[in-house]
Amino acid sequence: MSALARLVTRREALAAGIAAGSGVLLGGCARQLPPTYGSLLRLGDNLTYVAHRMLLPGESLVREYSRADLSSFPAVGTIDSASARRAAVAETYRRWQDSGFGEWRLQVSGAVARPGGWSLADLRGLPSRTQITKHTCEEGWTAIGEWTGVPLSRVLDAAGLQPSARFVTFKSIDGWYDSIDLLDALHPQTLLAYGMNGRDLPIAHGAPLRLRVERQIGYKSMKFLTELVVTEHLDDGGARGNPKNGWAWYTGI
Ligand SMILES: Nc1nc2c(c(=O)[nH]1)N[C@H]1C(S)=C(S)[C@@H](COP(=O)(O)O)O[C@H]1N2
Ligand SMILES: [Mo]
């Protein structure tokens, strides 16, 4: 390929929102726009997504802070799945808690070569990352916390992403259902966090495992994770998903 052809290819790749991340070709991210559901207001979310994907380098990092910056950190939304209204959820979560989360597994499936369940010990056995970042909640507060966990990219690498993979969908025991594209999934600061402020992740903050998606707003950082599914198309979760409930899908900050 000539240098010019390569340049043109690269330009086209950038224009299509394809950034080369972690050695996986992220074709098609921007061509699969987040859902608008015909809402004019939701158009802003799509524009933010496209603008971010075109203008920001895929690997650009959010600011990291020092321990002196740690702030008090409220727990919001579900703060204890053991007191869930659905009895089966509460019972399962209590059982996991009683076993020190030894019985808990993160199920990984979809467009991967090696689907399966990961225990906490499995996840702790992978190289970890600790980062101090600012959390921004859509309700108007921010807080700075330290997160320790395994970069999601490590787990996806171990599971073996298939070339058709485009999105990662997450599910939690309290019924949350959301997804991110591969650019965010493979971002070095996107963690499956099992530690907070130097200790095990507290129940109120999503024990035993939560997501940290540092370049998006707080509700994308799902707590109480149970399952991730790698998909070829955006799965909005239908009635269960955040987008249908009026929450933007891409909330880059
Ligand atoms: N499973 C689950 N994940 C969740 C929530 C929730 O209620 N359930 N709340 C979200 C919202 S709105 C925010 S701001 C953060 C809050 O995390 P924190 O409780 O650790 O502050 O978690 C997000 N992830
Ligand atoms: Mo939030």
Q: Is the pLDDT of residue 13 over 50?
A: no
Phi and psi for 86 in degrees, rounded to 5? Answer: -75, 120
Check whether residue 28 and residue 130 sit in a common domain: no
Collapse the DSSP code of 111 into the 3-class scheme (helix H, G, I; strand E, B; otherwise coil) and give the result: coil
Residue of minimum CA distance from atom 24 in ligand 1: 222
Q: Is the pLDDT of residue 50 over 90?
A: no
Token pair 């859902």 is found at 35
- Residue 191: which CATH number? 3.90.420.10
Contacts of 166 (CB under 8 A, 6+ apart): 26, 28, 29, 32, 181, 182, 231, 232, 233, 234
Provide the token pair at 76: 């919001």
pLDDT at 2: 43
Entry pTM: 0.84
Domain count, the chain: 2
Residue of minimum CA distance from atom 20 in ligand 1: 205
- Whose CA is closest to 80, among 94, 60, 66? 94
Q: Provide Rg for the chain, Cα atoms.
A: 18
| Ion ligand 2: residue ranges with CB closer than 5 A | 137-138, 218-219
Check whether residue 47 and residue 133 sit in a common domain: no
Residue 186 lies in a domain: yes
Question: Would you say the CB of residue 76 lies under 6 angstroms from ligand 1?
Answer: yes
Check whether residue 134 and residue 33 sit in a common domain: no
Q: What's the pLDDT tens digit per position in 103-139? A: 999 999 999 999 999 999 999 999 999 999 999 999 9
Check whether residue 31 and residue 153 sit in a common domain: no
Residue 60 lies in a domain: no
User: Containing H/E element for 46?
Assistant: helix 43-55
pLDDT at 32: 56
Give the residues across from 24 on adjacent strands: 21
pLDDT at 247: 84
User: By residue range, what is the domain housing residue 114?
Assistant: 67-245
Check whether residue 47 and residue 81 sit in a common domain: no
pLDDT at 123: 98
